[in-house]
Amino acid sequence: MGKTHILELKPIGIVHSPYKRVGEPPRQGHNSETISEIEVFEEFAEGLQDIEGFSHIVVIYWFHKSQGYALMVKPPGEDRLHGLFSTRSPQRPCPLGLTVVGLVARNKNTLEVRGLDAIDGTPVLDIKPYIPWSHEQGPVKIGWLEYRTGAEGR
């Protein structure tokens, strides 16, 4: 087994969301019009300068209510198991969430966002601007999801 490294993760903010319990957020937040807020702690607020010029941001957060994990999982709507790392399951050895959200507005140290699939109180670890040419890759294969042709598999 490999060497274990200790990481110290320091949240930069917290999610204020209408979703109060695990299971409430939509599986794919980008399909939702729900507005949430990301409160960036005052000590990091200066780092938000110029963020309002972006239409979308990448949010990295900690699934703080996640408990345990399995290396083989059956995603919703699937009839067979898949390896954990080929899914977006929140139950992971290191429960990080990553999503692209629409940036609606900035009010001082608070960002109003659309499509965040995180529950209220979720610690935010980082925010980055979404830049299409640095994120898009092509051609793209989507593994075991290839058979899905609807929005669910996109």
- CB–CB of 15/119 below 8 Å? yes
Q: How many CA atoms lie within 13 Å of 131's alpha carbon, on the beta-carbon side? A: 6
Among 91, 72, 78, 92, CA closest to 144? 78
Does residue 32 belong to any structural domain of this protein? yes
Structural domain that includes position 73: 13-153
**61 contact partners, CB below 8 Å, separation of at least 6:** 15, 96, 97, 98, 118, 122, 123, 124, 125
Q: What are phi and psi of 149, to 5 degrees?
A: -110, -15
- pLDDT at residue number 150: 54
- pLDDT at residue number 153: 41
Provide the CATH number for the domain around residue 113: 2.40.30.70
Does residue 2 belong to any structural domain of this protein? no
Does residue 29 belong to any structural domain of this protein? yes
Distance CA 99, CA 29 (A): 8
Q: How many domains does the chain have?
A: 1
Does residue 78 belong to any structural domain of this protein? yes
Q: What is the pLDDT along the chain (154 residues), one digit of tens a residue?
A: 567 778 889 999 999 998 888 876 766 656 678 899 999 999 999 999 999 999 999 999 999 988 899 999 998 888 899 999 998 888 888 899 999 999 999 999 999 999 998 999 999 999 999 998 876 777 777 788 787 655 444 4
Does residue 4 belong to any structural domain of this protein? no
Does residue 149 belong to any structural domain of this protein? yes
Does residue 6 belong to any structural domain of this protein? no
Distance CA 5, CA 53 (A): 37
Distance CA 89, CA 145 (A): 14
Does residue 41 belong to any structural domain of this protein? yes
